[in-house]
Each structure stands twice: as structure tokens, then as C-alpha cells.
Structure 1
Amino acid sequence: MPQDQDPGSTIFFNLTIDGESLGDFNGCEGLSSEVEIEQRQEGGNNGFVWQLPSRVSFSHITLTRPLTPDTAKVAAWVSSVTSGVVRPTAQIAALRADGSVVARWGLLDVLPVSWRGPSLDPASPAVATETLEIAHHGFTDAGAA
């Protein structure tokens, strides 16, 4: 398999909100959904129980990265919630080191949940990182990878 097509190669994630990039992240967790199932028994049919779909829920997505100049864009987006809730669309693209797209996820009605900056401790040589947590109301077509 050619190196540029190796799905196990280093991946990073680009987040865009209504077409504006908030930068690249090296960690992304929580791209998931869950369908609640209701069980219904049918009278006279003891062979099985109906499994019917109910609500769909979407987990929060957590993106992490070392501090970058794009941190200011994230802070501005999070602060914009104080002037009124706007629920834009977003896109997360998984990219290889050469910038080629592995996969994309479109997100509906995105809202920042939390932002955590670095713990700045001179006794710790760790990289200063930030974490952005976002909520959404579902996935949308993000285009072909």
C-alpha cells in the first residue's frame, strides 16, 4: 500500500465553522451517535419482541491541540455565545500529513460547550495544550473525501 494512502499514518483534524477555519487539532474524540431502542411486545406473538428506534443522541466532540495562533479564533467563537446563540454548521476533516483528506464529518447546529487552556507550570516541561468541546444536533453530508 503506498504511504500516501496508509490510513494508519499520522492524522490531524481541521475544524471549520460556517466555512471559517478554526485551525488544526491533533486529537478528536466523540464522533458518535446512539439510537435509543424501545421494546414492544406483540400480543399473541411470544417468539420475539419488537425493537423500535426512538430518539437519536449525539455525543459531545472534544478536540485537542498544542497552543497555536488559531487559539484566538476559538476564543472569539466561544465568546460569541454571550451575544446570542447562533447554531452554525461545522465540518471536521481528518487529514493526512500531506494535507489529503481521509474523511469529513458535517455537523448541524454546533455550539461550544467548553474551552480549556493550558496549565502553565514552570516545573512541568509539558507542551501547552488547549481543549475545545462542542455539541451538535446531528451529522450532515460533508462531501466526498
Structure 2
Amino acid sequence: MSEQTPLGGGVPTTSSRFLFEVDGVEIGTFQEVRGLRLDVDVVEYVEGGQNAYVHQLPGVMRWPHLVFTRGMVQSDSLFGWVQRSSGQGFAGNDDTLTRATGAVTVVDERGTRLRSWELDGVFAVSWTGPSLSAESDAALTETLEVAHNGFRAVTR
């Protein structure tokens, strides 16, 4: 069985709590974050007379949307940010998109911040509320999807 490499040397890190902040305001603590990924397109160049290989050059960097899932929380920060960046704030601001800075942070069981990914140009693109049914006792969860222009990893 392999053990995870610790950040900072002590106890191995786990991936059980994730904090999402926008412009320094806590949006929520999430159960799952998907999409921390970077893809670089490859541009191929065929050189005349070079038949042993095709040149491969780095192209456009692509940053997939991040998808956050969490249990319901009692906070208006999420919808306040959505209204400012994509809702009424967007429509009332001469249709100028207000992008924000964001951060996804791994938090340990004591609340200590272990590692962050700082996001550029963040705005919300989708929110899905809980499925409500009187016949279900499943946990209520919300899903948030955000677009961004890239991130930087930061060890705390």
C-alpha cells in the first residue's frame, strides 16, 4: 500500500475538505472539487525532408471549468457573488463581465490551510440545487461550476 506524500513533512495529506474563496470572501467548504487540470494543445509541424519525426510545439493552454459539490450551507456569499459577476451585476454594468480572483484550498481536520490553487478571472457558469423529494432521505447537495483563466499552485 502506498502512502501519500505529506505537504510540509508531517502527516500525509487527505482530500476531505476544500474551501473556495472569491476575492477573499469564503463561498463555502466543499466535499468535492473536479477540474483542477491544465491541458496544452500540441501543434504539429511537418518539416520538408525530415521524415524521422514530426515537430511538436506547445499551443494554446486550456483550463477546464471547476466543478464544486457540497452539502447545503447557510451562506448568501455564493449568490451574492453570482449576482455581481454573472447576474444583475453583469446586466447592470454595461454588460461588462466582472471577473474575480479565487482560490481553492485544501484544509486539514484542524482547519489549517495546506495548499491552494489561486485562480484568475473566475466567474460562475452553473449552479444546481438539491433534488427535493419527500420520499428520500439523501443528503442535500449543491453543485457549482466556474470558469477561469488559469491557476497557480501555492503551498501554505
Same-fold status (TM-score > 0.5)? yes
Segments of 4+ in structure 1 off by > 2 A?
Answer: 142-145
Q: How does 1:5-16 map to 2 (within 5 A)?
A: 5-7=11-13, 9=14, 11-16=16-21
Aligned equivalent of 2:93: none
- Percent pairwise identity: 33
TM-score normalised by the chain length of structure 1: 0.89
Write the distance in 2 (CA, Å) between the matches of 1:92 and 1:104: 5
CA contact (8 A) 2:15 2:106 kept: no
Are 2:100 and 1:88 aligned?
A: yes
| Structure 2 residues not aligned, in runs of 5+ | 91-96
Q: Per-residue deviation at 1:101?
A: 2.6
Aligned equivalent of 2:78: 74
Q: Deviations over 1:75-114 (max 9, x none)?
A: 1211222222210110110111122233210110001011
Aligned equivalent of 2:94: none
Write the distance in 2 (CA, Å) between the matches of 1:93 and 1:77: 18
Q: Per-residue deviation at 1:143?
A: 3.6
Q: How does 1:1-145 map to 2 (within 5 A)?
A: 5-7=11-13, 9=14, 11-70=16-75, 72-80=76-84, 81-82=86-87, 83-84=89-90, 85-140=97-152, 143-145=154-156
Query: What is the identity, as a one-letter code, of the residue corresponding to 2:69?
Result: T
Write the distance in 2 (CA, Å) between the matches of 1:51 and 1:10: 35
- Aligned CA RMSD, in angstroms, stands at 1.8
Q: Per-residue deviation at 1:41?
A: 1.2
TM-score normalised by the chain length of structure 2: 0.83
Question: Partner of 2:77: helix, strand, or coil?
Answer: helix
Q: Go from structure 1 to structure 2 and tell me whether the alpha carbon gap of 1:47 and 1:11 turns closer, same or farther (over 3 Å shift).
A: same
| Structure 1 residues not aligned, in runs of 5+ | none
Q: Per-residue deviation at 1:18?
A: 0.7
Q: Per-residue deviation at 1:10?
A: 5.1
Query: What is the identity, as a one-letter code, of the residue corresponding to 2:59?
Result: S
